[in-house]
Amino acid sequence: MIENSVNYYCDASLQKTDDEKWLFLLRMVLYDSDYVEFNVFKKGFNKIPEIESILKHIIDTASPKQKIYPRDNFIRYVLHEDVIKFILSKKYIDWKNFYLEDISFFKDEMEIFATITHENYVIMLLNEAQYNDLNSKGYNFTYFLPANFSIRPK
């Protein structure tokens, strides 16, 4: 851990019933992010009514450049009110093996929140005070160094 800076931390302890803890984390980043990305897990996602209703808010589908867990197929949305409602309508467990998964939020082109749903990882860019505060609330964040060093925070 680098003192007096921001670092990535990972919590692998959230359970499928930890919806309040999940919502708390989402609210920490949701309204301060520039956009949201998802890995596309299943084909035909654009035919699912709840996803179809937010397709007009897509801003990119090219290969992600700097992402903790990149996949070949991803989709980026502007954080429009409809997209926010869609995100908040899902429980933590709902994202695993959903058509869109591995939700990530970006601020100033830096990934500040990422998930790897099949590993049950929630990864956040936190300063020491945020890290201590979240762990005092029952989270279990530990230092995390992304494999892709080019995305390491400055």
The pLDDT tens digits of the residues spanning 68-93 come to 887 778 899 999 999 999 999 999 99
DSSP 82-124: HHHHHHHTS-GGGGTTSSEEEEEEEETTEEEEEEEGGGTEEEE
* Closest C-alpha to 99, from 57, 45, 37: 45
List the 142-143 sheet strands across, edge first.
58-60, 74-78, 35-40, 100-107, 110-116, 121-126, 7-11, 142-143
pLDDT recorded at residue 46: 86
Mean pLDDT calculated for residue range 122-150:
90
Domain ranges of the chain: 7-151
Position 146 pLDDT exceeds 90 = no
> What number of CA atoms fall less than 13 Å from residue 76's CA on the CB side?
20
pLDDT recorded at residue 18: 87
The answer to whether the beta carbons of residues 148 and 2 sit under 8 Å apart is no
* Closest C-alpha to 63, from 55, 54, 52, 72: 72
The answer to whether the beta carbons of residues 63 and 71 sit under 8 Å apart is no
The pLDDT tens digits of the residues spanning 32-73 come to 999 999 999 888 888 999 999 999 999 987 666 678 887 778
Q: Quick one: tokens of 124?
A: 């956040």
d(CA 128, CA 15): 24
